[in-house]
Amino acid sequence: MAAVGSGVVTAGALLLFRPQFIFALLPFLIPFALRWRDLRNRLKSTRGPSRGGTSTVETATLAMVLDHDTGQVEGEVRRGRFSGRRLGELSASNAE
């Protein structure tokens, strides 16, 4: 941990006093940044999906809400033959 801290301080000092040194540091900074991003993404994925998320889609024909936790879709038909009906009320036999 101390090596990382001293590396950051050294890099900061070089950048403050000699900005042209950033080009010399790029070959070292880019892989570090990529590994940091990968580590951050792995830590996020270990937490699992967030709870309570929903997605809403509204068109001229339909208004729908998807509950990410349950996969339940609710909504209403806005236009057409089934206008004003809830999606839960409809079935494949209604389409005939």
Distance separating alpha carbons of residues 93 and 96, to the nearest angstrom:
6
Which of 27, 37, 21 has the alpha carbon at shortest distance from 11?
A: 21
Q: Are residues 33 and 62 in the same domain?
A: no
Count of structural domains, the chain = 2
Residue 96 lies in a domain: no
Q: Are residues 14 and 33 in the same domain?
A: yes
Q: How many CB atoms lie within 10 A of CB 66?
A: 15
Which residues are paired to 75 by β-bridges?
64
At 14, the amino acid letter reads L
Mean confidence (pLDDT) of the chain: 81
Quote the domain boundaries for residue 84. Answer: 54-90
- Digit-coded pLDDT (tens) for 15-28: 777 767 667 777 87
- Digit-coded pLDDT (tens) for 76-92: 999 988 899 998 888 77
Which of 31, 29, 27, 37 has the alpha carbon at shortest distance from 11?
A: 29
